[in-house]
């Protein structure tokens, strides 16, 4: 059973809370790059995650490959397909997180779909994720109204369950989602899939300001962000910026696999510099 009586999520301090609090004290915004686990293989993913951390990433989002990723655009879909061709499982991703955790204190967030969690088991996943050093879960296809079982399990394990809001989400529903969320709210900047063109920045600023009037949670913006200038503009109102498709695309466009870590490092560093106040 996926749902139960609705109740607000309880705040549980973890690395995500600590990072946003530290950055807020410096008037600095969080950079959250995304890497698909297992693309092109798990060992390379580990190398890239650690490279992103060393280049200035504040949190890391790790994609769990899934065959029907409804929120992902073509770039991330192809990344998932390449990972699935390597037979990468949710268990493999938890093992990856455990190894990365042993080498860096940076917060780790898994982005996955509920079918994988349902098969694995809500309580088992929450427990194993916490043991692996995972700090948060993003589950795009799990509505808050159906998330109480997973929310209870993650809350007990000290793992944040991070919900998404969209440009079409009405204010009353934003407030309801925020009451159930923990860690931060993920604002999807466009009504589409990852990698689509970013909407006018004025529109994003307006909507983020409206969201922040309903919650004290940090708000991070994702979908469509690709340049340092865009990141800097969004960071004027948001608490964090998530970059996924643009990063994966840059890695795949580099023909020399031996240079991809340096491409990632340079790109992440340029984005992070845009989020540091001058």
pLDDT of 176 reads 95
pLDDT of 274 reads 97
Q: How far apart are CA 90 and CA 186, in angstroms?
A: 22
pLDDT of 189 reads 82
pLDDT of 208 reads 95
203 is catalytic: no
Q: How far apart are CA 125 and CA 146, in angstroms?
A: 17
User: Which residue of the set 61, 92, 122, 239 is catalytic?
Assistant: 61
Residue 258: which CATH number? 3.20.20.70
Residue 219's nearest CA partner among 20, 79, 37 is: 20
72 is catalytic: yes
When the pLDDT of each residue in the chain is averaged and rounded to a whole number, the result is: 91
Question: Residues 205-246: pLDDT tens digits?
Answer: 999 999 999 999 999 999 889 999 999 999 999 999 999 999
Question: Residues 26-78: pLDDT tens digits?
Answer: 999 999 999 999 999 999 999 999 999 999 999 999 999 999 877 677 899 99
Q: How far apart are CA 100 and CA 62, in angstroms?
A: 11
User: Where is pLDDT greater, at 178 or 6?
Assistant: 178
Give me 111's structure tokens. 């982005």
Does the pLDDT of residue 266 top 50, yes or no? yes
* 2 inside domain: no
pLDDT of 70 reads 75
Question: Residues 114-168: pLDDT tens digits?
Answer: 999 999 999 999 999 999 999 999 999 999 999 999 999 999 999 999 999 999 9
pLDDT of 201 reads 84
Question: Residues 95-118: pLDDT tens digits?
Answer: 999 999 999 999 999 999 999 999
Q: Between the CA atoms of 100, 188, 18 and 96, what dihedral angle is there, to the nearest 10 degrees?
A: -10
Neighbouring-strand partners of residue 160: 136
Task: Print the domain residue range for 83.
Answer: 15-274
* 3 inside domain: no
User: Which residue of the set 17, 58, 72, 122 is catalytic?
Assistant: 72
Does the pLDDT of residue 4 top 60, yes or no? no
* 9 inside domain: no
What total of structural domains would you count in the chain? Answer: 1
């Amino acid at each position: 059973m996926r749902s139960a009586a609705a109740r607000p999520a309880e705040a549980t301090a973890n690395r995500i809370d600590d990072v946003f609090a530290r950055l807020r004290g410096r008037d600095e915004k969080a950079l959250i790059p995304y890497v698909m686990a297992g693309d092109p293989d798990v060992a390379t993913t580990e190398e890239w995650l650690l490279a992103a951390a060393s280049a200035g990433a504040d949190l890391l989002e790790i994609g769990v490959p899934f065959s029907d990723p409804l929120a992902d655009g073509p770039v991330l879909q192809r990344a998932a397909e390449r990972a699935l061709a390597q037979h990468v499982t949710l268990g493999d991703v938890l093992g990856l997180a455990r190894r990365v955790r042993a080498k860096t204190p940076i917060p780790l967030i898994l982005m996955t779909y509920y079918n994988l969690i349902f098969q694995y088991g809500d309580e088992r996943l929450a427990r194993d994720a916490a043991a692996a050093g995972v700090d948060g879960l993003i589950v795009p296809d799990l509505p808050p109204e159906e998330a109480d079982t997973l929310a209870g399990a993650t809350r007990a394990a000290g793992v944040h369950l991070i919900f998404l809001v969209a440009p079409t989400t009405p204010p009353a529903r934003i407030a309801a989602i925020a009451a159930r969320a923990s860690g931060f709210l993920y604002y999807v900047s466009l009504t589409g899939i990852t990698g689509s063109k970013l909407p006018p920045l004025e529109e994003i600023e307006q909507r983020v300001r409206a969201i922040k009037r309903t919650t004290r949670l940090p708000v991070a913006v994702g979908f469509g962000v690709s340049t340092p200038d865009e990141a800097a503009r969004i960071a004027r109102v948001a608490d964090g910026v998530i970059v996924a498709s643009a990063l994966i695309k840059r890695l795949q466009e580099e023909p020399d696999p031996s240079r991809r870590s340096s491409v990632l490092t340079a790109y992440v560093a340029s984005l992070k510099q845009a989020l540091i106040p001058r």
